[in-house]
Amino acid sequence: MNAQNPATLPQSAPRPAPLLALIVPCYNEEETLPRTMDALSALLADCKARGLVQPESYVLYVDDGSRDATWALIERRHAVEPACRGVKFAGNAGHQNAVWAGMATARDWGADCIISLDADLQDDISVIPEMLARYAEGCDIVYGVRASRSTDTPFKRETAHVFYALMRKLNVSIIPDHADYRLVARPVLTALEGYGEQSLFLRGLFPTMGFKAATVRYARKAREAGESKYPLRKMLSFAWRGITSCSAAPLRVAGLMSLACMLAALLLCAVTLWKYAMGETVQGWTSLIIVTLLLGSVQLFCLAVMGEYIAKIFTEVRHRPRYIVEKTL
């Protein structure tokens, strides 16, 4: 059989314009939300006019238990603009649960794909048409990746580099400089129904699913209004959750530390016995206290790491809902 010319091989047809849902988790965003709503409404109208998305496409705001006027703003906007929809949590359930709720709701409402982005619009929405182009080419996940971290403080920039380097060392599949700005197609949304874990770390979940993916680079903007919802304490907690949700390596590190300390203790015992056999008097309390503190601290560290994983098991076996929806628009 003669080989066919690649130019004559049948090419897969591009996907038709999707019904798009823009997923925007919100927590106390009354200062920035009016500007965000205007910008996303204009973007969605432009995409509809250009035929990039279906006319029924919409923006879905997920109110993560805000204590300010965030929900009132969403309700007022929905009254005059039906393409602005909303989901309100009964209480604060966390950013990852808000993104998940938006994806699940959009899937139930018939969306062909979603794009999740933060309410502060630091993620450049001008690259959304490029994301849709990658979707049309057959990609089921399109990651928004920061082209640089020039808008970060030096401390945040360096800690981010350390975090991504550590995740690579732990063999965790994660896209460097990608947060939660991504396009997710219907096949992925359907597959997510099979994931029931309570402790979500979406950045580490999507790269493991095996769907065709692409990246789109963008320049992250500085926040224009409101305050960041991720101070240092929450950033460290989120990083630790990501590590323990995606890897069992900390347990292995704890085991290796225990083994190293045991070998050091055995070596010290051998040296002590040798000196005793040679007639030398081993003085002191200093060496005894050092060894005791060293072994005790390692044991406590190992117990803390194991306790973290046991706590995750406890959370999973209770099977409580990730969030409670109070209202929908």
- Residue of 101, 93, 119 whose CA lies nearest to 24: 119
Residue with tokens 């460097």: 176
Residue 10 lies in a domain: no
How many domains are contained in the chain? 2
Show which of 247, 278, 301 is a domain's final residue: 247
User: Are 34 and 129 part of one and the same domain?
Assistant: yes
CATH number at residue 116: 3.90.550.10
What's the chain's Rg over C-alpha atoms?
26
Show which of 216, 247, 278 is a domain's final residue: 247
User: Are 228 and 297 part of one and the same domain?
Assistant: no
Residues near 200 by beta carbon (within 8 Å), at least 6 away in sequence: 96, 97, 100, 245, 322
User: Are 109 and 162 part of one and the same domain?
Assistant: yes
- Helix ranges (DSSP H) in the chain: 33-49, 70-80, 95-108, 128-136, 154-169, 186-191, 202-205, 232-246, 249-277, 285-318
Show which of 220, 247, 274 is a domain's final residue: 247
Residue 137 lies in a domain: yes
- Residue of 103, 115, 109, 110 whose CA lies nearest to 193: 103
Residues near 104 by beta carbon (within 8 Å), at least 6 away in sequence: 189, 192
- pLDDT (tens, 9 = 90+) of the chain, 329 residues, equals 444 444 444 456 788 999 999 999 999 999 999 999 999 999 999 999 999 999 999 999 999 999 999 999 999 999 999 999 999 999 888 888 899 999 999 999 999 999 999 998 888 999 999 999 999 999 999 999 988 776 667 767 777 777 777 777 776 777 888 888 999 999 999 998 888 777 777 887 888 888 999 999 998 876 665 555 555 566 666 666 666 666 666 766 776 777 777 677 667 767 766 766 776 655 665 567 667 766 776 777 777 777 777 776 766 666 667 777 888 87
Residue 64 lies in a domain: yes
Q: Evaluate if pTM is beyond 0.75.
A: no
Contact 30, 70 (CB under 8 A): yes
User: Are 255 and 233 part of one and the same domain?
Assistant: no
